[in-house]
């Protein structure tokens, strides 16, 4: 084969004597390379005075100091292999029966044929090989595009799972801290129960994270399979040989039916911890913890401009401005009225009030009523829109209910531990108002049931005839 006209082949691999690929190349001092037999023949022709001349540059060289060029020899061998493969491909594309180029393709039989073979395929759809190749490449490209989207979706799902895992870990940590805080004041009694609850949470965490890990592995495996399928399809797109086209059916079918299966993600809802129903103190502590979930951040507003109270600048503290009554529960009780800044017409809400050091106070809720004669009667009663409890004479705790007379029914309450903080819980739909002794682990002071709220309900505060301030506690406390 003459390579003299093939500019794509590097001149370094062509013998300038025989114009063929180098065979056992030998290097001269001038840098030119020749076949061993060719340069030997040249030596016999140009030998003069013990020296020979290079056929290219005419520089002299010593014929006994020629060096085999092993590196160039390896390059030439690879080129020979490539030329042999190209030749075999050309031979493969020839029709075995007629010896002509198989440039046509029978779709019914799925094989390449030459022009003479057409008569052996009567009634069949015969297309140019180039058209079939183009059609297959287009189909492969569609499959690749779809699978690449599937791969992107797999990557997105993996990112979602990773984010979900972090979210779960954060939630678990937050819940763990809440549990630890809840058990802090009752360590001696609840140590065993605490460990049980924490173990349950840990098991739940392991279960959730294991499920997420399994889901992630599934997505990763599907993503890997998708990538492998894409790689196979892309490799076939680059192949032009007929045997590759003939074996395409199975691969294309697999790519058509393959669909990414989305893993089942665990629910984002985390079951809130509920304090165990052991007995006594633990039971009431549990109830307090439940209502504290509805804690609202309130501030104070005086009932009117002539109120005998002073509200602090941050609107969280109220004191008596003018001591004018010796009776803690005066007939003109509205003189000390203070409302909360928010009102409620549905749902549940909770707030706490610091009454430390006070010898008198009144707390609860107020809802405007149509009773126009409330000032002619003792007004702290549900009929007049007040659902309140209070303290008088430093140690007498009372609740005020309706009665058949003009005066409210005053109930004396048994409070064994004087409350420094009182929690008020309003459940509008359940028509209840509950009062908790936060100082005594949330024991119930009193509960109004079947409350008839005809209008919007306001938190109600009355510092009583006592100069010690009454303070609203923020939820963070």
Domain of residue 70, CATH code: 3.30.40.10
State the residue range of the domain holding 239: 150-273
199 vs 448: which has the higher pLDDT: 448
Residue 464 lies in a domain: yes
Cβ burial of 337 (10 Å; 0-12, 13-18, 19+) is buried
299 plus 389 within the same structural domain: yes
Q: What is the pLDDT of residue 64?
A: 80
In this structure, of 139-143, 239-243, 359-363, the range with the lowest mean pLDDT score is 239-243
Residue 6 lies in a domain: no
In this structure, of 132-141, 342-351, 429-438, 468-477, the range with the lowest mean pLDDT score is 132-141
Distance separating alpha carbons of residues 39 and 88, to the nearest angstrom: 32
β-strand 126-128 against 111-113: which pairing, if any?
unpaired
DSSP, res 21: B
* Stated pTM of the model: 0.44
What is the mean pLDDT of the segment spanning 80-101? 68
| Domain count of the fold of the chain | 3
Q: What is the pLDDT of residue 206?
A: 86
Q: What is the pLDDT of residue 276?
A: 53
298 plus 369 within the same structural domain: yes
Residue 117 lies in a domain: no
What is the mean pLDDT of the segment spanning 441-450? 89
239 plus 379 within the same structural domain: no
Give the dihedral of Cα atoms 449, 455, 457, 462; nearest 10 deg: -90
Q: Is the per-residue pLDDT at 319 higher than 80?
A: yes
Residue 4 lies in a domain: no
The per-residue pLDDT for range 175-219, each reduced to its tens digit, is 888 788 767 766 655 665 677 777 878 888 888 888 888 888 888
**Domain closes at, from 92, 112, 132:** 92
Q: Is the per-residue pLDDT at 349 higher than 80?
A: yes
Distance separating alpha carbons of residues 409 and 377, to the nearest angstrom: 12
Residue count of the chain, please give it.
477
234 plus 355 within the same structural domain: no
151 vs 279: which has the higher pLDDT: 151
**Domain closes at, from 240, 273, 306:** 273
466 plus 404 within the same structural domain: yes
264 plus 301 within the same structural domain: no
393 plus 454 within the same structural domain: yes
Q: Is the per-residue pLDDT at 350 higher than 90?
A: yes
361 plus 242 within the same structural domain: no
Identity of the highest mean pLDDT range in 36-40, 46-50, 75-79, 299-303:
36-40
Residue 161 lies in a domain: yes
Q: What is the pLDDT of residue 326?
A: 42
Residue 403 lies in a domain: yes
Q: What is the pLDDT of residue 422?
A: 96
331 plus 441 within the same structural domain: yes
155 plus 257 within the same structural domain: yes
SS3 content of the chain, % helix, strand, coil (to 5): 40, 20, 35
238 plus 382 within the same structural domain: no
* Residue 113: both structure tokens together: 């044929």
**Beta pairing partners, 412:** 398
Residue 116 lies in a domain: no
268 plus 331 within the same structural domain: no
Residue 141 lies in a domain: no
**Domain closes at, from 221, 238, 273:** 273
Which band of pLDDT confidence, cut at 50, 70 and 90, is reported for residue 330? very low
> What string of H, E and C letters represents the secondary structure of 133-157?
HHHHHHHHHHHHHHHHHHHHHHHHH
């Amino acid at each position: 084969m003459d390579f003299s006209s093939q500019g794509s082949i590097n001149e370094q691999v062509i013998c300038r004597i025989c114009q063929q690929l180098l065979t056992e190349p030998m290097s001269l001092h001038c840098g030119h390379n020749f076949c061993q037999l060719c340069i030997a023949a040249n030596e016999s022709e140009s030998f003069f005075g013990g020296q020979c001349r290079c056929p290219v540059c005419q520089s002299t060289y010593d014929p006994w100091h020629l060096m085999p060029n092993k590196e160039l020899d390896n390059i030439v061998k690879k080129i020979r292999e490539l030329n042999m493969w190209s030749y075999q491909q050309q031979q493969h594309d020839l029709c075995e029966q007629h010896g002509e180029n198989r440039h046509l393709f029978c779709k019914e039989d799925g094989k390449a044929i030459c022009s003479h073979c057409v008569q052996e395929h009567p009634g069949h759809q015969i297309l140019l090989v180039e058209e079939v190749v183009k059609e297959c490449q287009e189909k492969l490209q569609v499959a690749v595009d779809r699978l690449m989207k599937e791969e992107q979706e797999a990557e997105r799902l993996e990112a979602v799972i990773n984010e979900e895992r972090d979210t779960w870990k954060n939630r678990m940590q937050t819940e763990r801290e809440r549990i630890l805080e809840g058990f802090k004041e009752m360590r001696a009694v609840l140590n065993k129960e605490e460990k049980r609850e924490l173990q349950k949470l840990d098991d739940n965490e392991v279960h959730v994270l294991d499920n997420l890990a399994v889901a992630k592995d599934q997505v990763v495996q599907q993503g890997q399979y998708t990538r492998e399928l894409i790689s196979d399809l892309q490799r076939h797109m680059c192949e032009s040989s007929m045997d590759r086209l003939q074996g395409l059916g199975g691969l294309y079918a697999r790519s058509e039916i393959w669909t990414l299966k989305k893993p089942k993600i665990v629910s984002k809802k985390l079951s809130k911890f509920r304090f165990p129903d052991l007995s006594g103190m633990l039971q009431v502590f549990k109830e307090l913890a439940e209502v504290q979930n509805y804690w609202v951040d309130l501030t104070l507003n005086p009932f009117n401009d002539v109120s005998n109270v002073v509200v602090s600048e941050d609107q969280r503290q109220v004191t008596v401005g003018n001591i004018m009554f010796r009776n803690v529960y005066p007939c003109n009780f509205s003189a000390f009225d203070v409302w909360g800044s928010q009102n409620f017409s549905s749902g549940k809400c909770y707030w706490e009030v610091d009454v430390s050091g006070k010898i008198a106070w009144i707390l609860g809720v107020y809802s405007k009523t149509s009773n126009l004669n409330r000032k002619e009667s003792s007004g702290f009663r549900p009929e007049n829109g007040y659902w309140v409890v209070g303290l008088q004479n430093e140690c007498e705790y009372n609740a005020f209910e309706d009665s058949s007379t003009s005066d409210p029914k005053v109930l004396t309450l048994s409070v064994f531990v004087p409350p420094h903080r009182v929690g008020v819980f309003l459940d509008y739909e359940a028509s209840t108002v509950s009062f908790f002794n936060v100082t005594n682990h949330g024991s119930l002071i009193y509960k109004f049931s079947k409350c008839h709220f005809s209008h919007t309900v306001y938190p109600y505060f009355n510092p009583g005839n006592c100069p010690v301030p009454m303070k609203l506690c923020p939820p963070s406390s």
